[in-house]
Structure 1
């Protein structure tokens, strides 16, 4: 039986890394897990499940596909809006950590070792990292992670830092009581400098929130913590997949062992409000992408992102 969650889905209108405004719609949502072994589809077809009267349609995230699709089309009396087409990165954890390391070139392994050693020398190996599992531990983790998150560009620009609300904290502690979450903190002595938050869904660890103090950018603390965390995850010998979720980045591609072509797609009722929403959202994304391509052509994109994210 397919589970659909009924909730408000937010469409973010942003230019480059800057969020301008948001619009929400009530939709029936399905998040497809890599553990489901869903067969990649050749066509985008609206779900057969009945659309609720109070719903504006469906949203399916991480749907594996065989082909590329137009961003906007009409399918069986629904607007079909492909919000994102991307390579879904993940790590197959049904191996040893030593076997996993062999997926990297000798140069890459050397680079990781150098970054880890550099940070250990920097912090003099004092309490450099810790894993959190129990409910009490996760409350401590959250306090430390929030100290870091307040400084990150994810929170300042994208409103995507680790949440600081009672509902999230309650959900986190419930997961911890059921052994379904892991938290990792990297320290410089007693100061938290990077965090990684991973809920567990079935046999998969989910890459939910990662952040680091921009003052430690040169120490590669995000990479160092990811490496420490993966060592610990493999050592548990419990998980099948580390799921980097949607979106692409050099960090995800570097650490992943596999990539899967996926889309996030919405099937919306064919009314004027939904038509305006999807075309305006598509237009804003197109402008943002073209601006990014233009800046990249002149070597400015990376510099501007650094200024926006880190102030230099």
Structure 2
């Protein structure tokens, strides 16, 4: 996505062939020729390569244009041992606040604050409710990164459910879905995909509460061995993770002028955002500008807060 700050200007929709895990460290995917790509495929995506396997930035690799955005960091939770043992990594105060948040929602949902959609027949209703929430989030309005809509994505959800690799989590409050998380499995790993919550509940920590309940469910379910937060930094990823790993991800495209220009333009925007962010930070204005942009998009600014102690 081409962005200025948090506002998406344009999305470059590429159809990429995702190489399998067994091929990540092998050279054949660099020896392919662009002409050998299947029809309707624009390039190759190489995930989780060792750092140093390919140079950072834009380079020519064989017959391909290769773009590596940077070193990625991925946080995860190992689903091992008991949930109580996992919680002991938090301070006593943090555990108290997390349980208080869960109790707040449980008291307003007949002690059933979370529901899980995992069957093909449950996907349509989950998608509908998740999209209703997503439309009100800044991720959807500013970043175009909300819950995907439409029958095409629904079909993918249903197919994942048929393979046992779909989990749609909803947090409830007084009969209303307050937050959602769409997760998909890959082998023994469950990926934390698309998330969102209603701005009106932000003071009650709906996202954090739902994450707590998801992890509690996974420790009980034992279907997956790892909960994968995906690449990128976020306070909740570091706070809830049990480990992390660093790697690079490479995109291989045919060496056309159009592809090179688009990648260079993307790099220029990335640099502009980085330097503008540092300048605003030095002036003490970065947080205020971010809040202003989110308000303009009609979403609640800032990160969610923990609920206040009642009584």
- 1:18 paired with 2:7, answer yes
Structure 1 residue matching 2:12: 3-state secondary structure = strand
Distance 1:96 1:37, change over 3 A: farther
Distance in structure 1 (CA, Å) of the matches to 2:110 and 2:23: 42
Distance 1:146 1:86, change over 3 A: same
Instruction: From 38, 45, 48, give the equivalent of 1:62.
Output: 48
Distance in structure 2 (CA, Å) of the matches to 1:77 and 1:105: 53
Whether the aligned pair in 2 keeps the contact of 1:46 and 1:76 (CA below 8 Å) is no
Deviations 1:252-297 (A, max 9, x none): 1111111111222223333322221221110111101111222222
Whether the aligned pair in 2 keeps the contact of 1:126 and 1:189 (CA below 8 Å) is no
- 1:29 paired with 2:22, answer no
Instruction: From 157, 164, 168, give the equivalent of 1:179.
Output: 164
Give 4+ residue runs of structure 1 displaced > 6 Å after superposition.
Answer: 36-39
TM-score by length of 2: 0.83
Distance 1:279 1:95, change over 3 A: same
Instruction: From 73, 98, 120, give the equivalent of 1:87.
Output: 73
Instruction: From 86, 103, 114, give the equivalent of 1:100.
Output: 86
Deviations 1:41-84 (A, max 9, x none): 9xxx7834523415664322333426995323333354332124
Structure 2 residue matching 1:198: 3-state secondary structure = strand
Structure 2 residue matching 1:264: 3-state secondary structure = strand
Q: Which runs of 5+ in 1 are unaligned?
A: 1-11
Instruction: From 251, 275, 282, give the equivalent of 1:266.
Output: 251
Structure 1 residue matching 2:223: 3-state secondary structure = coil
TM-score by length of 1: 0.83
Count of residues paired in the alignment: 293
Q: Which sits farther off after the overlay, 283-292 or 79-88?
A: 79-88
Deviations 1:63-111 (A, max 9, x none): 3426995323333354332124221111111322122212323343233
Distance in structure 2 (CA, Å) of the matches to 1:218 and 1:67: 44
Q: CA deviation at 1:174?
A: 2.3
Whether the aligned pair in 1 keeps the contact of 2:51 and 2:71 (CA below 8 Å) is no
Q: Which runs of 5+ in 2 are unaligned?
A: 302-311
Whether the aligned pair in 2 keeps the contact of 1:94 and 1:239 (CA below 8 Å) is no
Whether the aligned pair in 2 keeps the contact of 1:86 and 1:248 (CA below 8 Å) is no
Report the counterpart of residue 3 of structure 1 in structure 2.
none
